[in-house]
A and B are shown apart, each in its own frame.
Chain A
Amino acid sequence: AQSVAQPEDQVNVAEGNPLTVKCTYSVSGNPYLFWYVQYPNRGLQFLLKYITGDNLVKGSYGFEAEFNKSQTSFHLKKPSALVSDSALYFCAGGYNKLIFGAGTRLAVHP
């Protein structure tokens, strides 16, 4: 069965420090992988995607993600966290329909 896992329910980071939100996947073939962010009372917003090519993909708001096929991971990263990055982050994978992880709440403290 195909699945996406986000092993951390919550990640706490101090403002200005680098952040990592973890994602692992079990999707057959060459997966398409996505990161979305959800702010309170707002819809999911697309951040970035991996389709093929360079393992490091850059997205919106200074976020990037590294695809690692051997570890079946697609971790979201940002070099310097902002308080405004505090939100719920979802990793998703698939080809047409998306399979989502359970989400990771990112809390950036001043």
Chain B
Amino acid sequence: DTGVSQNPRHKITKRGQNVTFRCDPISEHNRLYWYRQTLGQGPEFLTYFQNEAQLEKSRLLSDRFSAERPKGSFSTLEIQRTEQGDSAMYLCASSLAGGHYEQYFGPGTRLTVT
């Protein structure tokens, strides 16, 4: 399967712990996006990269959140000092460069903060 992959698929953590998620995009895609989806809502944009450069960050991405894409391939999203409000599905997507290209989504990482 050459689609977008995300690991882990599920993560349960205690409040105050740090968590890190990984996303592997479709190999020829140079754009990578992170979204967050809560129950009953559509995905909300968090940030996106073109190659290794982080081009935009949402105001939703507080200073506890950091994303990297060090070699322009896979990306990591880290949440420090998790809070119960961080519980959500974290989605990764990738695309070719250009807003007119569709984004292909991975299966998501479901985070539960207890």
Q: Which residues of A contact B41 (CB under 8 A)?
A: 102-103
Contact-residue bracket for chain B: 20 to 34
Q: Which of A44, A96, A101 contacts B105 (CB 8 A)?
A: A44
Instruction: Given the known inter-chain contacts A32-B99, A96-B48, please indicate yes or no for A43 contacting B106, CB distance below 8 A.
Output: yes
A contacts with B: majority SS: strand
Q: Which of B38-56 contact A (CB under 8 A)?
A: 40-45, 48, 55-56
Please, which residue of chain A has its CB at the minimum distance from the CB of B95?
Answer: A96
B22-43 to A contact mask, C-beta < 8 Å, 1/0:
0000000001010100001111
A90 CB to closest chain B CB, in angstroms? 5
Q: A46, B56: Cβ atoms under 8 Å?
A: no
Contact-residue bracket for chain A: 20 to 34
Q: Which residues of A contact B45 (CB under 8 A)?
A: 97-99
Q: B55, A96: Cβ atoms under 8 Å?
A: yes
Q: Which residues of A contact B55 (CB under 8 A)?
A: 96
Q: Which residues of A contact B48 (CB under 8 A)?
A: 96-97
Q: Which of A41, A94, A102 contacts B99 (CB 8 A)?
A: A94
Residues of A within 8 A of B (CB): 4, 32, 34, 36, 41-46, 49, 51, 90, 92, 94-103
Residues of B within 8 A of A (CB): 4, 31, 33, 35, 40-45, 48, 55-56, 58, 91, 93, 99-100, 102-108
